[in-house]
Amino acid sequence: MKRSVVVISAQAADELTQVGPQTATGAFLRQFWVPFLPSDAVAAGGEPFPVRLMGEDLVAFRREDGQVGLVDTACAHRRAPLLYARNEGCGLRCVYHGWQFDITGQCTDMPAEPETSRFKQHIKIKAYPVRERNGVLWTFMGTGEPPALPDLEWNQVPAENVHVSFRVQDTDWLSAYEGEIDSAHAPILHGRLDRTSKRSNTMAARTGRPVFDIVQQDFGVSVGARRPIGDGAELYWRVNQFVLPFWTLVPPKSTEWAELTGHAWVPIDDTHTLCVGFTYLPDRPLKERMVDVFVNSYQGRETGHPSKLAYDETIPHNEPYWRYISKYRRATNFLFDYELQRETYFSGLPGLWVQDSGCQTGATFLAPRSHEHLTSSDAGLVVARQTVHDCVAAHRDSGELPEIATRPDLYRVRSVAAVLKSDESWTEALEGFIRRSGGAPLGYEVP
Amino acid sequence: MRIVASRELCKGHGQCELFAPDVFEVDDDALVVLKTDTVTGSAEQDVREAISHCPEAAIRARETA
C-alpha cells in the first residue's frame, strides 16, 4: 500500500487548484458525486438558486413535483439569466422570450416561434443529474454513467443523528482541505487563554507535540498523529482521514464530545470553496444542546458550524451561493478582534470555524505555495497532495481513475481517536474501528 | 428551379414548410426533407420565400432554363 512519496513542486500544487472544465484537476474531480446544496435551498415551484461548481455557473430549482434540476445559468436563446426564470410545469421558463427547459436541459417550448417550428427539438442547455439523499442534493458533472452515491455514513444516518452545514470560503479547495488534515494546529489555533473551555481540557490540548505517521489507503490517506501520555508507556493517537477526492474526517474529541466530524471541500471555482460540514453520532441522536450551539452559536461565538447568525443577509441574490456567504470573510477581516486575542482566544478570531477559515484563507491569495515552508507536522498534507496529484495525472494521461471512483463501499470509513500501548501498531489496532460504518457504535471509549 | 436542402444545417424552424408545403417537410427528427427537388412556375416564388425565411440558410436553389 505504501508508495514512495516525493514532495511535489509548489507549481504542481498550485495547478491542483485549477478546477475549470478544461483543466486536468477539474476533469478528475468531475468524476465524483458532489454534495452541492441542502434540500431546503430549493422549494417546490419556488425561486431558483444560483450555484457555481468547478467554475461553471448553474441554476438549481425544484419543480412542483419535487424533482430538482441543475442547469446552465443562461438561456440558450439570447443568454438571458435563468435565475429570473419562472419555475413552472416541467422546468424553467425564461422571462425574456418564454423559452422553457426541463430538468434534462431540453427546450420544450418557444412561445414566440411559429407553431409549426420544430426548432426546440434541437435546443438543449447544459444540465447535470441530481440525486437527493437525507436532506442533501448531489450532482455528477463527469462523463459516462455515474456510479451509485458514495456510502458516506453522515449522509445515511437518521436526521436526528447529524448536523450538516454549508458555507462559502474564499479559499482554493486545496488550502481548505489541507487545513483539516493538519491536526497540529488544533490545540494552538483553537486554544484559549482563559483555560475555561472544555476544548482546553481535551487530551490533544493536554499532551505534547504530535509526531505523524502517514499511510496511503484505498480510500485516500490516513494521517496518524501520536502524542505521548505521562511516562510514554502509552500514546494518544488521533487518526484524521483524507478521503478522495475532497473529503476530510476528524476524530472525536473526548468521551463527552464523541461525535465524528468532517467536511466536503467542494470547489466553487479556483479561489472559492463550498464547505459542507457534518457532525454526527452513528448510533444515536445528537444532544439537543449541541445542535442548539451549532445553530445559535455559543455566547455569541461561532462553533464548529456556521450558526444562523453567521450568514451575511446583504448579499445580492445573483451571487453564487449567496445564502451561504458568511459575515466572517476576507472582506470583513473575519471580524478579527485584537482585544479578544489579549484576553480570551489565542487567535483573536471569533469562533472555531472562523479561526480555520481565517488561517486557510487569510493570505493565500497573496502568497503562492512557493512561499510555504512545510514541516514535520505537514507530512499528512504532503502525502495527500501527492495522492491527488498522482490521481489527476493518471486520469489526464490514460483516463485511469482510482478504485474509489466506482466503489461507493470504500467510503465506509471513520476517523479514530484512541490510547494505545507505545509498542502497538496503530494501523493494526485501529483498522477495525476505521473500517466500521453503517450506523454501528464506535466500539471503543473515546479518550 | 433545382433545390438543395442541408440536413446538417437545418434546425427544424419549419419556415420552408410554411411557405412551400408542397416542396418542403420537416420530419420527426425535426429536419428538412425535400418532397421534390425541381419546381416550375408559380411554385418557384414560394421556394424563394422559403429560402429567404430560413434562419439557418439550409436551403438553396439554382434557376434552370
Strand partners, A162: A280
Interface check for B53 against chain A (CB to CB < 8 A): the answer is no
Residue A151 near residue A408 (C-beta atoms within 8 A): yes
Q: B63 pLDDT band (50/70/90 cuts)?
A: confident
In a domain, A201, yes or no: yes
**For B16-19, which contacts have Cβ atoms below 8 Å and span 24 or more sequence positions?**
B16/B50, B16/B51, B16/B53, B16/B54, B16/B59, B17/A116, B18/A114, B18/A116, B18/B50, B18/B53, B19/B46, B19/B47, B19/B49, B19/B50, B19/B53
Q: CB of B33 within 8 Å of any CB in chain A?
A: no
Nearest to A114 among B11, B14, B29 (CB): B14
Q: Is residue A23 in a domain?
A: no
Tell me, yes or no, whether A301 lies in a domain. Answer: yes
CB contact under 8 A, A122 and B15: no
- Say how many CB pairs under 8 Å bridge A and B: 29
State the smallest CA–CA distance between residue A365 and chain B in angstroms: 46
Q: Do B14 and A117 touch (CB under 8 A)?
A: yes
Q: What is the per-residue pLDDT across A201-242, written as a single tens digit (0 to 9) for each?
A: 556 555 667 899 999 999 999 999 998 888 889 999 999 999
**Which CATH number characterizes residue B58's domain?**
3.30.70.20
Using only C-alpha atoms, chain A has a radius of gyration, in whole angstroms, of 23
Smallest CA–CA distance, residue A96 to chain B, in Å, is: 19
Same domain, A103 and A44: yes
Nearest Cα of chain B lies from the Cα of A123 at a distance, in angstroms, of 9
In degrees, to the nearest 5, what angle opens at C-alpha A117 toward C-alphas A114 and A122?
A: 140
Say whether A122 and B17 touch across the interface (CB within 8 A): no
CATH assignment at residue A107? 2.102.10.10
The x, y and z cell numbers of residue A134, run together, are 437525507
Rg of chain B on CA atoms, in Å: 11
Whether residue B14 and residue A118 make contact (CB cut-off 8 A), yes or no, is yes
Contacts of A121 in chain B (CB under 8 A): 12, 29-30
pLDDT of residue A4: 58
Residues A236 and A354 in one domain: yes
Which residues of chain B have a CB within 8 Å of the CB of A119?
11-14, 30
User: If you search the block for the grid coordinates 458525486, which residue do you land on?
Assistant: A33
Mutation choice for B interface testing from A116, A123, A124 by most B CBs within 10 A? A116
Domain limits for position A400: 153-434
Per the listing, cell 514532495 goes with A7
CATH number where A160 lies: 3.90.380.10
Q: Which range marks the domain in which residue B14 is found?
A: 2-62
Question: Which of A139, A162, A186 is the last residue before a domain boundary?
Answer: A139
| Mutate: best of B13, B27, B33, partner A, most A CBs <10 A | B13
DSSP string, A317-369: TTSTTGGGBBS-SGGGGGG--HHHHHHTBSS--SBHHHHHHHHHHTTTTTS-G
pLDDT digits (tens, 9 = 90+) for A83-110: 999 999 999 999 999 999 999 999 999 9
Answer yes or no: do A100 and A162 share one domain.
no
Inter-chain touch B11–A119, beta carbons under 8 Å: yes
**Residue B8 confidence (pLDDT):** 96
Whether A145 is in a domain gets the answer no
- pLDDT (tens digit, 9 = 90+) per residue, A311-346? 999 999 999 999 999 999 999 999 999 998 998 889
A187 and A162, same structural domain? yes
Q: Is B20 helix (H, G, I), strand (E, B) or coil?
A: coil
| pLDDT on residue A231 | 84
Report CB contact under 8 Å: A116, B30: no
User: A87 is written with which cell numbers?
Assistant: 419555475
pLDDT band with cut points at 50, 70 and 90 for residue A285 = very high
Count up the domains in chain B and report the number.
1
Contact at CB, B30 and A118, closer than 8 angstroms: yes
Residue A116 shares a structural domain with residue A70: yes
pLDDT tens readout for residues A386-398: 999 999 999 999 9
**Predicted local distance difference test score (pLDDT) of residue B40:** 94
My answer on whether A288 and A196 are in the same domain is: yes
Residues A234 and A314 in one domain: yes
Which residues fall within 8 angstroms of residue A255, CB to CB, at 6 or more apart?
A: A445, A446, A447
A294 and A408 belong to one structural domain: yes
b/e code A338-347 from CB counts within 10 Å (16+ = b): eebeeebbbb
- For chain A, the average pLDDT equals 92
Query: Looking at the structure, do residues A360 and A421 belong to the same domain, yes or no?
Result: yes
Nearest by CB to A122, which of B11, B15, B18?
B11
Examine the fold and report which residue of A139, A172, A196 is the final residue of a domain before the chain moves on.
Answer: A139
Would A384 be classed as within a structural domain? yes
Do the Cβ atoms of A116 and B18 come within 8 Å?
yes
SS3 (DSSP) at B32: strand
Query: What is the distance in angstroms between the Cα of A114 and the nearest Cα belonging to chain B?
Result: 8
- The alpha-carbon gap from B43 to the nearest alpha carbon of chain A, in Å, equals 20
The residues facing A74 across adjacent strands are A81
How far apart, in whole angstroms, are the C-alpha atoms of residue A132 and residue A38?
Answer: 9
Residue whose C-alpha is closest to residue A211's, from A386, A9, A426? A426
pLDDT band at A1 (very low <50, low <70, confident <90, very high): very low
* A46 lies in some domain: yes
Do A222 and A371 lie in one domain? The reply is: yes
CB–CB of B12 and A116 under 8 A?
Answer: no
Same domain, yes or no, for A231 and A287? Answer: yes
Query: Are A187 and A92 found together in one domain?
Result: no
Read off the pLDDT of residues A4-47 as tens digits, 9 standing for 90 and up. Answer: 566 788 888 889 999 999 999 999 999 999 999 999 999 999 99
